[in-house]
């Protein structure tokens, strides 16, 4: 029996354990209940009584040798396994989607309108959002008691009541005419402000595009042709327009342009109030007083002007029913206007 133990000791020491399979084979041979060492344990009772103690002790040493070696190798294998991927990227993880930004629908509409007018020779101009009374009202022929000047519509600068947040982009017309000589042919996009209660249909901040053409012999026919071209480019080649007489202090005559929207659905009936027609913009021939206010000779020059709301046109084109969506920056809304994918 002692010889057998010696033999097994040599075998245990010589056994190479380099992977899990070898380790498992080692466990079955030396450690498990049915292992060679287990068998020898069972045979102790057959050993002569005076040798039993010595055999028992040797067997215990042998058993400890085997379990010691097993544990040591098992731990080492475990460690080297978990180290394998340390510092390495885990290629099995799902990737992080590359989220492209989107161009705001208001900017998309603005860019489209601007490019339509650029094609027929309009250049782009802008002006200040914080404006004085002269450029926003007085030079545009607003009488001193005009309701648009009242506190309920206009945000005034508290410390200087002559200064205000512009209520329309028409101020840029004045700035153009004051500083440049005709011919003038400009499109003027920008942000405007009105002291209105915020609702699905109105906001205190919104965007307009102003147009201005000043030259010799500019006629109402030129205005109409220009707007008809714009309407077809913007809403499709079959678009119908009509001009309705209207009033603005800075144009004479003044008109509002409608496009024919149709009456196909209940929704069409609702937004066109049963008429099929939708108002898109205000326009007219620049009032001679306005030209004179800017130092342009009304005897020599005439011109037309128009102004439209960018939110309104965007809402119509995309069937958006709440203007507040444009200002909330909710990416679930904005992502629907992705132009690149």
* CB of 190 or CB of 307, closer to ligand DAH: 307
Q: State yes or no: residue 284 binds ligand DAH (CB under 6 A).
A: yes
Residue choice 105, 190, 282, 303 for contact with ligand DAH (CB under 6 A): 282
Q: State yes or no: residue 248 binds ligand DAH (CB under 6 A).
A: yes
Q: State yes or no: residue 226 binds ligand DAH (CB under 6 A).
A: no
* CB of 35 or CB of 170, closer to ligand DAH: 170
* CB of 105 or CB of 190, closer to ligand DAH: 190
Residue choice 170, 272, 293, 302 for contact with ligand DAH (CB under 6 A): 170
DSSP per residue over 206-231, as a string? EEEEEEEEEETT--HHHHHHHHHHHH
277 neighbors 244 (Cβ within 8 angstroms): no
Q: State yes or no: residue 127 binds ligand DAH (CB under 6 A).
A: no
Give the binding range for ligand DAH (CB under 6 A) out of 78-86, 150-158, 215-223, 279-287: 279-287
CB of 305 to ligand DAH, least distance (A): 3
Binding characters for ligand DAH, 292-331, by CB under 6 A (x = yes): -------------xxx------------------------
Cis amide prior to 183 (ω within 30 degrees): yes
296 neighbors 174 (Cβ within 8 angstroms): no
Q: State yes or no: residue 175 binds ligand DAH (CB under 6 A).
A: no
Comparing C-alpha atoms, which of 264, 273, 261, 265 is closest to residue 316?
261
What residues contact 185, with CB distance under 8 A and at least 6 apart? 121, 122, 123, 212, 213, 214, 215
Residue choice 35, 251, 272, 314 for contact with ligand DAH (CB under 6 A): 251
Q: State yes or no: residue 210 binds ligand DAH (CB under 6 A).
A: yes
Sheet of 184-193: strands edge to edge? 123-124, 184-193, 205-215, 302-309, 277-286, 251-260, 241-248
- Number of C-beta neighbours around residue 96 at 10 A: 6
Question: Mapping DSSP to helix (H, G, I), strand (E, B) and coil, where does residue 312 land?
Answer: helix
Q: State yes or no: residue 206 binds ligand DAH (CB under 6 A).
A: no
Residue whose beta carbon is closest to ligand DAH: 307
By rule CB under 6 A, what count of residues binds ligand DAH? 11
CB of 187 to ligand DAH, least distance (A): 11
86 neighbors 322 (Cβ within 8 angstroms): no
Distance from chain centroid for Cα 35: 69
Q: State yes or no: residue 287 binds ligand DAH (CB under 6 A).
A: no
185 - beta bridge partners? 213
- Number of C-beta neighbours around residue 173 at 10 A: 29
| Binding site residues, ligand DAH, CB under 6 A | 168, 170, 210, 248, 251, 282-284, 305-307
């Amino acid at each position: 029996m002692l010889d057998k133990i010696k033999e097994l000791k040599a075998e245990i020491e010589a056994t190479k354990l380099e992977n899990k399979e070898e380790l498992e084979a080692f466990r079955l041979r030396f450690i498990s209940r049915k292992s060679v060492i287990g068998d020898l344990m069972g045979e102790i009772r057959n050993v002569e009584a005076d040798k039993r103690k010595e055999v028992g002790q040797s067997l215990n040493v042998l058993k400890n040798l085997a379990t010691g070696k097993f544990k040591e190798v098992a731990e080492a294998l475990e460690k080297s396994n978990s180290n394998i991927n340390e510092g390495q990227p885990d290629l099995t993880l799902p990737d992080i989607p590359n989220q492209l930004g989107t161009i705001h629908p208001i900017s998309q509409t603005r860019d489209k309108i601007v490019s339509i007018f650029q094609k027929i020779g309009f250049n782009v101009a802008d002006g200040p959002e914080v404006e004085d009374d002269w450029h926003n009202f007085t030079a545009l022929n607003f009488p001193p008691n005009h309701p648009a000047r009242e506190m309920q519509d206009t945000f005034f600068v508290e410390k200087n009541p002559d200064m205000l947040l512009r209520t329309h982009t028409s101020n840029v017309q004045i700035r153009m005419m004051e500083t440049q000589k005709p011919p003038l042919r400009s499109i003027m996009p920008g942000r405007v402000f009105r002291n209105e209660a915020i609702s699905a249909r109105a906001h205190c901040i919104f965007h307009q595009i102003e147009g201005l053409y000043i030259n010799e012999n500019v006629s109402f026919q030129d205005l109409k042709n220009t707007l008809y071209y714009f309407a077809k480019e913007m809403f499709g080649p079959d678009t119908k327009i009509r001009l309705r007489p209207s009033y603005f202090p800075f144009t004479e005559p003044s008109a509002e342009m409608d496009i024919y929207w149709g009456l196909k659905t209940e929704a069409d009936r609702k937004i066109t109030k049963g008429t099929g027609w939708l108002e898109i913009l205000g326009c007219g021939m620049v009032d001679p007083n306005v030209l004179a206010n800017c130092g342009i000779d009304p005897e020599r020059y005439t011109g037309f002007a128009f102004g439209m709301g960018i939110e309104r046109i965007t809402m119509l084109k995309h069937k958006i029913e709440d203007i507040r969506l444009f200002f909330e920056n909710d990416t679930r809304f904005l992502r629907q206007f992705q132009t690149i994918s």
